[in-house]
Structure 1
Amino acid sequence: MNSTKKVTNVALLTAMALAISLIEQMIPLPVPIPGAKLGFSNMIILICLYLYPLKYALLVGILKSFLLMLITGSVSSFFYSISGAIFSALAMGISLKLRGKTFSFVGISEIGAFFHNFGQILVASFVMGNIKMYLYFPILVIMGIFTSFFVGLSVNYITSHMDKINFGDIKNEKIDKRF
């Protein structure tokens, strides 16, 4: 895959994840839990993992977090967002290797949500200087179970249609490992 196509695809995936994150921030949650959100931008990260190696998904997650900070001006949210994105992408990337043998996209999404919340709580306990922040973790995990189930079902639907139209052939193109 040439570098122009690679940069374009990463930029498009980043733009989609950023747009979904911005829309997601406008959706009011029925439960007033600070820091909780629907996590729909993880669909793009999971699709990126389906198409490309882990480093591309990490890049999309990091760029999305950085651009979201620039657009919203929320520097403190950046640290929570980037830690969650890194933990989530790593966990989903590892579990995607086991897909078919052990995990479906729903399971991979559930694992990603768990580690996203874990990364955020890790940063929160460090920033607040209080280990009691981990008491908040089960609440985030329970909410994440429901939202990540929807994310996993959506990715399963999207990737099955990508395979039908041979969009998945992008996976079979030779990817330069130096990126």
Structure 2
Amino acid sequence: MCFIGLEGIKLSAKKIVYVSILVSQALVLNIVESFIPVPIPVPGIKIGLANIVTLVTILMFGFKESLIVVILRTLLAQLLVGNLTSFLYSVSGGILSACIMFFVYKRYSKYFSLVGVSVFGSVAHNVGQLFVAALIINNFLIFSYLPVLMIAGIIMGVFTGLVANYFKKYIKNVKYDSKW
């Protein structure tokens, strides 16, 4: 059985179930993370637990599915605990992060481990959020905050990459239908 998804993409029922499970896992991690105090008391710094699921989605399926997971997770999280401005920050950072992680993973995986891919994604997430913030407040001096966010992004990216790397061996054991 096939369904027509976003932009005419044909999705099997099995794939829809897998992607839905990944969206719900990312949503749960996003909500749980909002209750975890970050050891560094700097605004905008988060662990990025939902990025673990984005990495896993890239490993399991690819680019389109990872974007679907990021967009749906962000939309649902903001409906539950956020507002419009935080949605714009989250979705822009999430999309840029997924794009960069997929590009680095597909193009440079022989040079960068999954931890390195995660670090690139984490830094890209911060850049995407700062860009939207600069547009909203109409002041690009906010990028002076980037070095602090980059250091935090590297640390958090290493953590999320290590966790995603742990799951990588289990992902290889999942058998996929070639018609996906």
Q: TM-score, normalised by structure 2?
A: 0.90
Q: What are structure 2's unaligned runs of at least 5 residues?
A: 3-11
1:173 aligns with 2:173: no
1:134 aligns with 2:139: no
Please tell me whether the aligned partners of residues 47 and 155 of structure 1 are also in contact (alpha carbons under 8 angstroms): yes
Distance in 1, Cα, partners of 2:34 & 2:122 = 17
Indicate the SS of the match to 1:28.
coil
Q: Which residue does 1:147 correspond to in 2?
A: 156
Compute the RMSD of aligned alpha carbons.
1.4
Please tell me whether the aligned partners of residues 99 and 105 of structure 1 are also in contact (alpha carbons under 8 angstroms): no
1:48 aligns with 2:57: yes
Superposed structure 1 runs of 4+ greater than 6 Å apart: none
1:115 aligns with 2:124: yes
Q: Which residue does 2:41 correspond to in 1?
A: 32
Q: Which residue does 2:25 correspond to in 1?
A: 16
Please tell me whether the aligned partners of residues 47 and 159 of structure 1 are also in contact (alpha carbons under 8 angstroms): yes
Distance in 2, Cα, partners of 1:35 & 1:41 = 15
| 1:80-126 Cα deviation digits (max 9, x unpaired) | 00000100000001111135421110010011001101100000000
Q: Which residue does 1:97 correspond to in 2?
A: 106
Question: What amino acid sits opposite 1:66 in the alignment?
Answer: L
| 1:161 CA displacement | 2.9
Distance in 2, Cα, partners of 1:118 & 1:73 = 20
Q: What are structure 1's unaligned runs of at least 5 residues?
A: none
**Identity of matched residues, %:** 38
Please tell me whether the aligned partners of residues 119 and 153 of structure 2 are also in contact (alpha carbons under 8 angstroms): yes
